[in-house]
Amino acid sequence: MPTHHRQEMSRTSSVTPLRIGTRASPLALWQAEHVRAGLLRAHPEIPVEIVPMTTQGDRMLAVPLHEIGGKGLFVKEIEAALLEGTVDLAVHSMKDVPAQQPEGLEIAAILAREDVRDAWVSNTFARPEDLPQGGRVGSSSLRRRAQLLHRLPQTVVLDLRGNVATRLRKLDAGDYDGIVLAAAGLKRLGLLERIRHYLEPELSLPAVGQGAIGVEIRSDDARTRTLLKPLNDPTTSRCVGAERHMNRLLGGDCRLPVAALAEADGTGLRLRGLVASPDGRELLRAEAVGSLAHSVGEQVAQALLAQGAQHIIDEVKRA
Ligand SMILES: NCc1[nH]cc(CCC(=O)O)c1CC(=O)O
């Protein structure tokens, strides 16, 4: 490139833009925009671009999640782009980020958590407990299936995949009597009025990281790490850290019927964890309080393993 041309370009924009990699679903784009807005607020002089991408998980929407048999289906392509340097940061739902971080990448910021709860959405029944014998519930998550069947064994859980709008369309078409979705996704998409009932954590313990948005970077990218500091919410970061540590020790990923929720109270953390068989017959719970995320994560994982969690996990992995 001729020198005069380069000088012209550097006059119009002297700051290297930040490029955000994201899935192209409406929810993922909302989350990427949310991170972009946070970056622009903290650093008004730095341009921020959004680069939408299609992931393997998006291409395989017809297959039940737990049958695809690969971890991090929604994040792999975006992580590859990050490692290649096509993008500088990746925005993820922490729920979709595998327990184990790939070599060379790290989560640099976790934003303040949205509502962590699962939500009941139905055009017919105000609550899941109103379902008749054989009532059809749509959910693709073994975690939601197990907890629902444990409490309401007379119901039937049917697979349901697709992005939030697709799932709502299938409900409205009459394929299900009700569905369970994350309240966070519905709120972000402006669909709060679809929620008939919030499922409290006692009844449907959320997924590890549910409701939290995480930003991933290359470990050697000190510039982006520094720029992201103001977006990190230390409390959410500690809570999600405790949940993820528990999950790591259980060898968990999003396909397993594993749930966890950490809540902070001043300097203290309370972590609840759950492992269940997909049919809901076996359901193990454990809880710990403490001040260190890693320690409560380890205590809950150990307590679940002491109750026989490993055999449930092995069974699901074999199936
Ligand atoms: N696996 C899909 C997914 N990933 C994150 C969310 C919701 C947003 C969040 O939990 O932060 C959803 C949809 C859902 O479970 O209803």
**Ramachandran sector of residue 46 (left: φ over 0; alpha: ψ -120 to 50; beta: rest):** beta
Cβ(185) – ligand 1 distance below 6 Å: yes
Question: What's the mean pLDDT in 234-256?
Answer: 92
Q: Which CATH superfamily is domain 1-111+212-232 in?
A: Periplasmic binding protein-like II (3.40.190.10)
CB-CB neighbours of 41 under 10 Å:
10
Active site residues: 96
Which among 93, 111, 114, 187 is the best mutation to test ligand 1's pocket, defined by most ligand atoms within 8 Å of the CB?
Answer: 93
Atom 6 of ligand 1, residue of closest alpha carbon:
185
Asked whether this chain's domains 1-111+212-232 and 118-199 adopt the same fold, the reply is yes
Does residue 169 have a pLDDT over 70? yes
Q: What is the pTM of this model?
A: 0.91
CATH label, 233-319, candidates 3.40.50.10800, 3.30.160.40, 3.90.650.10, 1.10.1380.10 = 3.30.160.40
Close Cβ partners of 73 (under 8 Å, ≥ 6 residues apart): 55, 56, 57, 60, 65
Cα(284) to centroid(ligand 1), Å = 23
**Average pLDDT of the chain to the nearest whole number:** 92
Atom 15 of ligand 1, residue of closest alpha carbon:
182
Cα(13) to centroid(ligand 1), Å = 36
* Of residues 84, 134, 118, the one with CA closest to residue 104: 84
Q: How far apart are CA 235 and CA 242, in angstroms?
A: 11
* Alpha-carbon distance values, 220 to 70, 217, 289 (Å): 27, 8, 35
Output b/e per residue, 238-262; b: 16+ Cβ within 10 A. bbbbbbbbbbbbbbbbbbbbbbbbb
Question: What's the mean pLDDT in 10-38?
Answer: 89
Residue whose tokens read 């499922």: 199
Cβ(96) – ligand 1 distance below 6 Å: yes
Close Cβ partners of 264 (under 8 Å, ≥ 6 residues apart): 235, 238, 239
Residue whose tokens read 């393997």: 56
Close Cβ partners of 101 (under 8 Å, ≥ 6 residues apart): 107
The token duo for 238 is 């500690």
Cβ(273) – ligand 1 distance below 6 Å: no
Close Cβ partners of 281 (under 8 Å, ≥ 6 residues apart): 150
Fold that domain 118-199 belongs to in CATH = D-Maltodextrin-Binding Protein; domain 2 (3.40.190)
Angle between helices 234-249 and 293-306 (to 10 degrees): 30
220 pLDDT band (50/70/90 cuts)? very high
Pick the residue with more confidence: 161 or 2? Answer: 161
Return the domain boundaries, the chain: 1-111+212-232, 118-199, 233-319
Cβ(272) – ligand 1 distance below 6 Å: no
pLDDT in tens, 172-190: 999 999 999 999 999 999 9
* Of residues 26, 71, 29, the one with CA closest to residue 51: 29
Q: How far apart are CA 218 and CA 50, in angstroms?
A: 17
pLDDT in tens, 133-157: 999 999 989 999 999 999 999 999 9
In percent, the amount of the chain with pLDDT more than 90 equals 82
